[in-house]
Structure 1
Amino acid sequence: MLTGKQKRFLRSKAHHLNPIFQVGKGGVNDNMIKQVSEALEARELMKISILQNCDEDKDLVAEQIVRGTKANLVQIIGNMIVLYKESKENKQIQLP
């Protein structure tokens, strides 16, 4: 679980990132969870964008991705989800 200070730090780091994945009409599936997990292992911090044609609620989408990848939800802002998961082998971000 992240503290408020850590979330603030991660939000500032994520501000300049572009979304890597998009959740569209198909919603969240196992293949997407697997790809997001691999990307989180490589990057630790990432943004996921939720498209207009996504039928599911953004909070539900975020919850499904967080549960599937065992990542930490940093924030949901607009149609953007910011996730953080500490990398096992490629640690780059030092949390305060």
Structure 2
Amino acid sequence: MLTGKQKRYLRATAHDLSPIFQVGKNGVGEAMCADLMDALEKRELLKVQVLQNCADAPKDVAAELVDGTNAELVQVIGKVIVLYKESKENKTLQLPR
């Protein structure tokens, strides 16, 4: 569980990132969750874009992604979701306490 201070740090860090995954009309599937888990292991922090043709609300998509990847939800702003998961081997971000 992330503290408010840690979320604020992660939001500031994610500001300059571009979304590397997109959720479209097919929604969230097992393959997407597997790809996200691989990307989170390498990057720890990433953005996901929810496209206009997606039938689900961004908050619902975020909940599905968190359940499928065991990541922490940092932020949902508009149609952009920010996820964080601490890497086991490539730890690059040092969170404040």
Instruction: State the alpha-carbon separation in 2 of the partners of residues 2 and 67 from structure 1.
Output: 16
TM-score scaled by length of structure 1: 0.99
Residue in 1 that maps onto 2:49: 49
Residue in 2 that maps onto 1:5: 5
Residue in 2 that maps onto 1:80: 80
Unaligned runs of 5+ residues in structure 2 are none
Residue in 2 that maps onto 1:34: 34
Query: Alignment partner of 1:7: what SS?
Result: helix
TM-score scaled by length of structure 2: 0.98
Instruction: State the alpha-carbon separation in 1 of the partners of residues 12 and 56 from structure 2.
Output: 27
Alignment of 1:53-64 (within 5 A): 53-64=53-64
Compute the displacement of 1:57 (Å). Answer: 1.3
Query: Alignment partner of 1:95: what SS?
Result: coil
How many residue pairs get aligned? The number is: 96
Instruction: State the alpha-carbon separation in 2 of the partners of residues 17 and 32 from structure 1.
Output: 19
Unaligned runs of 5+ residues in structure 1 are none
Instruction: State the alpha-carbon separation in 2 of the partners of residues 47 and 54 from structure 1.
Output: 16
1:15-43 per-residue CA deviation (whole Å, 9 max, x = no partner) reads 00000000000000000000000000000
Runs (4+) of structure 1 moved beyond 6 Å?
none
